[in-house]
Amino acid sequence: RARPVVTVNAHLILNPMIVNPDNKTCQLPVSQLLVACFTVRVCADFEGQSISDKIVLKGELQLDSLKQKGAVKRTLFFDYHQSHHYFSIVIERQKQVHCQDFLVYLRDETEFRDKLSPININFNYSLDESSFEDSLTVKPILNYYQKNSLSEQAYILVDCGEDNLCIPDLQLSAVPDTDQLIIGEENCVMLIINPRNDGEGAYEAELHIKIPPEADYTGVERNNKALRVLSCDYKMENETRMVVCDLGNPMVAGANFSTGIRFSVQHFENADFSINFELQIKSSNKINSTSNLVNLHINISAVAQVQIRGVSHPPTIILPLHNWEPKDEPTKEEEVGPLVEHIYELHNIGPSAINNTVLHVGWPVSKREEFLLYILHIQTHGPLHCQTSSPINTMQIKFAVPQDTPELAAFLYNSTISHYIRRRDVAVAEPHRKNSPKILNCTNVKCVLISCTVGQLERGKSAALKIRSRLWAQTFLERKNELYSLSSNVSFEVKSMPYKVQPAKLPEGSIAIRTSVIWSTPNVSFEIPLWVIILAILLGLLVLALLTLALWKCGFFDRARPPQDDMADRQQLTNNKTTDA
């Protein structure tokens, strides 16, 4: 309380307070660039009792002080190119005002975006105690009840009328280029966006797009001249994925244009029946800073085309079998009869995936306790698990199972299979139309039901089932010349798809694969002796000679001439006689 109190009257004056960025009257000494500038004046005087006539103040000026640390400072000191400056103010005597000027310039508009918020200039001061005489036992102190800091604000001139206050009228509309997304398709979506400003300039105007979890930002449309190309960045805001696009600084009054933003939608694991994009324009204006909020909904659907196809290999069995004799109790598969393989493929054409599918095969195995097609082995390919309604190969017939059959590989990779039929020197008897083959299927013979569950099949994937069997030849040889068609019935039903979205009707279908059993008639072939051939040739030549002689005797080979030719010959003969005479 005993220390002398110094009361300082300080002032901070800006000239001008509104800076026109287009009025570039100052030239930087090094770069020679013209910049807009203004003056910051600091003035101070003091009074007090029991103090000397001269004091020194330590001053600190901070430009654009409201900007956080690391942010771009819009103004710098002309002489120092810094936004912070320390200096001293020497006041010679009491109640005498001392002023000091500092030239400050505005950075180029390309170096910052904020043009609306004020440029805050802060001035702090304190006593320089080192300037007092050491003989003073009690050194002066600043007035405790008076602030030792001042601040003023400068503004950047904007095109907002006389009040320098911009009130925009931001409007936003948007439509997607598709109203339906199909799971499994490429699903590239472009949002055609139309931002406009029906009011005054909107500063730091940005388009904010909230990306749904199912989508990914891929870029800006650049191939359409009718759409403006914007500068957009991908950002994360509080774990929310955003696309932020620059609309201009300012987005001038009357701005109205269209742009295209592209997204790829592929993540449908937890997708509902639609995805939602949220769009809005935001600016730094104090009034009407945002546009209307736009919500775009795009529906999601699951569609899969599933095909069941099959083949019999071979498609036809020709009886009787060459060099084959039946056995009462066969032990090897060759002793049963010819090999018959059926291959079925469940193919997902797509585009969506399927799962939880059931596949049923009805296989004609016997009739009246006589075997028809005797199953030896069931082979699967892909996510397929099968079981039979009754045991197979009950007679324990030995068979060989190749690891990879060419028939199955050809069917899977080529979608069709070239049926190889072993040809013999027999001619197939043409059946009469009245003698049509008897169809043997699950409606009139005993069948084994093969039930399979199929796992998830993506687009273009397949699951295949191969049944290796033998035609029980003894059953058919006992019914000579009777034609049969052995038919297996295959059906499938898709129970669900691996998405929350399910189609109104799930795929299903069925086919019948037939193996025909027909009979042949043997070729009647015999060898002709050589002497018969020679005798036939000689007889032929003799007949030809006799025929030629008979024709010659009849005058067939005499030349018949016209009458004019005879008169000409006679005239020529007369002329020759006259010449001789």
Give the model's pLDDT for residue 516: 94
Closest among 313, 315, 318 to 429, alpha carbons compared:
318
> Hey, what are 364's tokens?
């004609």
Looking up tokens 């472009």 gives 190
Three-state DSSP at 477 gives helix
Who's near 237: CB < 8 A, 6+ residues apart? none
Burial 27-44 (b: 16+ CB within 10 A, else e): eeeeeeeebbbbebebeb
CA distance 538 to 559: 31
Does the domain made of 5-156 have the CATH classification 2.60.40.1460?
Answer: yes
Provide the pairing of β-strand 426-428 with 508-522.
antiparallel
User: What architecture does CATH give domain 170-301?
Assistant: Sandwich (2.60)
Closest among 370, 519, 330, 367 to 444, alpha carbons compared:
367
Q: Are 83 and 76 in contact (CB under 8 A)?
A: yes
DSSP 8-class letter at 253: T
Who's near 574: CB < 8 A, 6+ residues apart? none
Cα 437 to its chain centre, rounded Å, is 51
CA distance 474 to 476: 6
Per-residue pLDDT of the chain in tens (581 residues, 90 and over written 9): 777 888 888 889 998 988 888 888 888 887 888 899 999 999 988 887 777 777 888 899 999 888 887 788 889 998 888 888 999 888 877 777 889 999 999 988 888 888 888 889 999 988 887 766 665 567 778 888 888 889 999 988 887 777 778 889 999 999 999 999 999 899 999 999 999 999 988 988 999 999 999 999 999 999 989 999 999 999 998 889 999 999 988 898 899 999 999 999 988 888 888 999 999 999 988 889 999 999 999 999 999 999 999 999 999 999 888 877 778 788 888 888 899 999 999 999 989 999 889 999 999 999 988 999 999 999 999 999 999 999 998 888 888 766 555 556 556 555 544 333 333 334 444 444 446 889 999 999 999 999 999 999 999 999 999 999 999 988 888 888 889 999 999 999 999 999 888 998 999 999 999 999 998 865 444 467 888 889 999 999 999 988 888 888 887 776 655 555 555 555 655 565 555 54
Q: Are 121 and 154 in contact (CB under 8 A)?
A: yes
> Hey, what are 250's tokens?
């300012």
CA distance 312 to 141: 110
Per residue, what are the HEC states of 60-83?
A: EEEECCCCCCCCCCCEEECCCCCC
DSSP 8-class letter at 574: H
Answer yes or no: same fold for 170-301 and 306-413+436-519.
yes
Give the model's pLDDT for residue 576: 55
Total residue length of the chain: 581
Partners of 564 in the β-ladder:
none
Closest among 293, 273, 290, 268 to 210, alpha carbons compared:
293
From residue 549, alpha-carbon distances to 286, 385, 535, 555 in Å are 131, 88, 21, 10
Closest among 282, 294, 291 to 249, alpha carbons compared:
282
Closest among 493, 539, 518 to 314, alpha carbons compared:
518
CA distance 129 to 345: 97
Q: Domain segments of the chain: what residues? A: 5-156, 170-301, 306-413+436-519
> Hey, what are 228's tokens?
């403006």
Give the model's pLDDT for residue 346: 95
Q: Residue 360's CB: how many other CB atoms inside 10 A?
A: 15
CA distance 357 to 386: 12
For the segment 106-162, what is each residue's pLDDT rounded down to a tens digit? 988 888 888 888 889 999 988 887 766 665 567 778 888 888 889 999 988 887 777
Q: Give the type of residue at 523.
A: N
Cα 485 to its chain centre, rounded Å, is 47
Partners of 100 in the β-ladder:
42
CA distance 437 to 424: 22
Partners of 548 in the β-ladder:
none
CA distance 151 to 12: 7
Partners of 99 in the β-ladder:
43
Q: Give the type of residue at 343.
A: I
Q: Are 514 and 437 in contact (CB under 8 A)?
A: no
Cα 91 to its chain centre, rounded Å, is 75
Q: Phi/psi zone of residue 161: left (φ > 0), alpha (ψ -120 to 50 degrees), beta? A: left
Per residue, what are the HEC states of 348-399?
A: EEEECCEEEEEEEEEEEEEECCEECEEEEEEEEECCEEEEECCCCCCCCCEC
For the segment 494-525, what is each residue's pLDDT rounded down to a tens digit? 999 998 889 989 999 999 999 999 988 654 44
Give the model's pLDDT for residue 423: 36
Give yes or no for a cis peptide into 320 (omega within 30° of 0).
yes
Per-residue DSSP letters for 528-550?
PPHHHHHHHHHHHHHHHHHHHHH
User: What architecture does CATH give domain 306-413+436-519?
Assistant: Sandwich (2.60)
Q: How many degrees, rounded to 5, is the angle at CA 458 between CA 452 and CA 463?
A: 30
DSSP 8-class letter at 457: B
Give the model's pLDDT for residue 137: 63
CA distance 154 to 65: 12
> Hey, what are 255's tokens?
């701005």
CA distance 40 to 76: 11
